[in-house]
Amino acid sequence: MDPEELLNEKAGEPQKESPLKSLERDLKIYNESIKEVAIEIMVEGISSHPIFIAHQHEVKLGEVILDRHDLNTDWTINASTLEEFIEAGVVKKELKDRFLKTYKKPEDFMCVFVVVPEGANFVYYPYPKR
């Protein structure tokens, strides 16, 4: 096997951009809207732990707040909460405390659950400093 195959690169073909690059571009566009929703979730007492789901397909978790089709971007963002993630079994009840230890301050970071065909993971993306 060639090293290029291990890296999923084909000789002579341009390397495909990581989906995280396009997500970062979209989060820069979306950051003010996401922060407003996060604050709303906390102020209204819905949850102290807002979570945003970034996806490019259908996701049955949370509520769509920024639709990539409407905004001509690459990623759709759903708003959710830690409580909904536990209820749906995405975060197991017994692992809630461990999750909370790594959960960053929602006034400074958006907690983004990034869903790609290969799987999903949590990413903390900082809001720009004012």
Q: In what order do the strands lie in the sheet with 119-126?
A: 63-66, 76-81, 50-55, 109-116, 119-126
User: In whole angstroms, what is the distance from residue 126 CA to residue 114 CA?
Assistant: 15
pLDDT by residue (tens digit) across 52-107?
999 999 899 999 999 999 999 999 999 999 999 999 999 999 999 999 999 999 99
For strands 50-55 and 109-116, give the pairing. Answer: parallel
Q: Which residue has the higher pLDDT, 20 or 29?
A: 29
Confidence tier at 23 by pLDDT (50, 70, 90): very high
| pTM recorded for the entire structure | 0.85
Please name the residue that has the structure tokens 């708003």.
79
Q: Which of 50, 64, 59 has the alpha carbon at shortest distance from 114?
A: 59
What average pLDDT does this structure show over 3-25? 62
